Amino acid sequence: MRLTTTFAAAAALAVSAVSANAGGMSEPVMDAPVVMVEEPAPAGSSISSTYIVIGVVAALLIAAAASED
């Protein structure tokens, strides 16, 4: 019985010692807030590059169809 009481007391001290030191003693460090900077869209051409690619592919297909005749 005395051995069980000793083990229970040792376990209680071990658990309380771990929980008391879990947070640490240093001051909390605050991170700087994250700021998202959006870059403005370039004021370039009014024609999308997709239309240019589609036009080139269409021109190649027409040239291939014309050369088969």
Q: What is the rounded CA–CA span in Å between residue 19 and residue 12?
A: 11
Q: What is the pLDDT of residue 18?
A: 55
DSSP 8-state class, residue 47: S
Question: Token pair for residue 35?
Answer: 């700021």
Q: What is the pTM of this model?
A: 0.35
Q: What is the mean pLDDT of each run of 10 residues along the chain (69 residues)?
A: 80 65 68 87 73 93 85
- The one-character DSSP state at 37 is -
* Tokens encoding 55: 């036009």
- The two three-digit tokens of residue 17, written as one number: 């010692």
Task: Dig out the tokens for 25 from the structure.
Answer: 């003693």
